[in-house]
């Protein structure tokens, strides 16, 4: 009979989901870069585009932070705040934050470690 350690199962699942989240967040960063490219080309930031970029930054912040890419999460948080309605937006500042997000995502995530014990699942009530 093979004993399954819940800690191993969680660690394996976490590693797989971290990889998947990295792909999602890399895609979000690319979409932000594309939006800024459009804004530079047209010389305007449409309100809906700004809100869309803010939503992307918000998602990136939550996901990157949850999966250990804290530098990227902090830059995404700054970007989200920068894109609040009514605030003047400097595209260079936006581009710098997106670059920082990219750098943060290129770093290895800070590992989350299973700290529970193998019997905790039987105790939860």
The CA dihedral of 93, 97, 102, 105, to the nearest 10 degrees, is 180
Binding mask 39-78 for another protein (x = CB under 8 A): ----------------x--xx-xxxxxxx-----x---x-
Phi, psi of 118 (to 5 degrees): -65, -20
Instruction: Find the part of the chain contacting another protein (CB under 8 A) among 36-44, 82-90, 91-99, 115-123.
Output: 115-123
115 binds another protein (CB under 8 A): yes
Which positions touch another protein (CB under 8 A)? 6-7, 9-10, 13-14, 17-18, 20-21, 24, 55, 58-59, 61-67, 73, 77, 112-116, 120-125
């Amino acid at each position: 009979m093979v004993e399954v350690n819940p800690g191993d199962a969680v660690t394996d699942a976490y590693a797989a989901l971290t990889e998947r989240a990295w792909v999602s967040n890399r895609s979000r960063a690319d979409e932000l870069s594309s939006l800024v490219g459009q804004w530079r080309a047209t010389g305007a930031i449409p309100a809906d585009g700004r809100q869309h970029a803010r939503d992307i930054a918000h998602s990136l912040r939550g996901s990157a932070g949850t999966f250990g890419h804290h530098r990227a999460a902090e830059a995404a948080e700054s970007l989200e705040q920068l894109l609040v309605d009514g605030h003047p937006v400097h595209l260079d500042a936006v581009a710098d934050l997106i670059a920082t997000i990219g750098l943060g995502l290129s770093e290895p995530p800070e590992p989350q470690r299973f700290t529970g014990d193998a019997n905790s699942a039987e105790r939860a009530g």
